[in-house]
Structure 1
Amino acid sequence: MKVKIKSWIAVASWKWDVPEDEVCGICRVQFDGTCPNCRFPGDDCALLVGKCGHSFHMHCLLDWINTESSRGLCPMCRQKFEYVEQ
């Protein structure tokens, strides 16, 4: 018996390379979701990981850093926030 495929539909998915239960420390949304400022997950809202080990959506962290009370500190541990380039 011969089978001839006439058409096919490709399906793809992506996921950040973090454990499934990890959420943004600011908005509390999982990393494979979107931050409150974005419509779609992906490169428009990158994941930023600090040297302290805490991770945040890029937009959430930028909003946090722009507040007066942040003083450039990590919102979770209050150490100076320096991100790790990935």
Structure 2
Amino acid sequence: MKLTITDWWSVAGWKWDVPDDDVCGICRAPFDACCPQCKIPGDDCPLIWGECTHVFHMHCLLKWLEAESSQQQCPMDRRVWVTAS
């Protein structure tokens, strides 16, 4: 018995590469929304990952790091902030 495949259909799934915790640890707004500084979701509000694997809205983190009290540390685990490459 010989089998000949005449048609082949593949099915694929996808999802956004968003962290399990789907809210910013600083402003507590969802990642698919925008940070308090932005007006339109998604346009100018990218996410930023740290080497510690924590994720924040970029604007929230930049504002956090500008504060003297932050001591350039991750707001979640207080390790020195290093942006993941």
TM-score normalised by L of structure 1: 0.74
In angstroms, what is the RMSD of aligned CA positions? 1.7
Give the whole-Å Cα distance in 2 for the aligned partners of 1:62 and 1:69: 13
Task: Give the C-alpha shift of residue 78 in structure 1.
Answer: 0.1
Q: Structure 2: which 5+ runs fail to align?
A: 1-14
TM-score normalised by L of structure 2: 0.75
Q: Percent identity?
A: 58
Say if 1:16 and 1:32, in contact at 8 Å, map to a contact too: no
Give the whole-Å Cα distance in 1 for the aligned partners of 2:40 and 2:25: 19
Count how many residue pairs are aligned between Structure 1 and Structure 2.
Answer: 71
Q: Structure 1: which 5+ runs fail to align?
A: 1-14
Over alpha carbons, which structure has the higher Rg? 2
Q: Do the aligned partners of residues 46 and 16 (structure 1) sit closer, same or farther apart at CA in structure 2, a change above 3 Å counting?
A: farther
Task: Give the C-alpha shift of residue 16 in structure 1.
Answer: 4.7
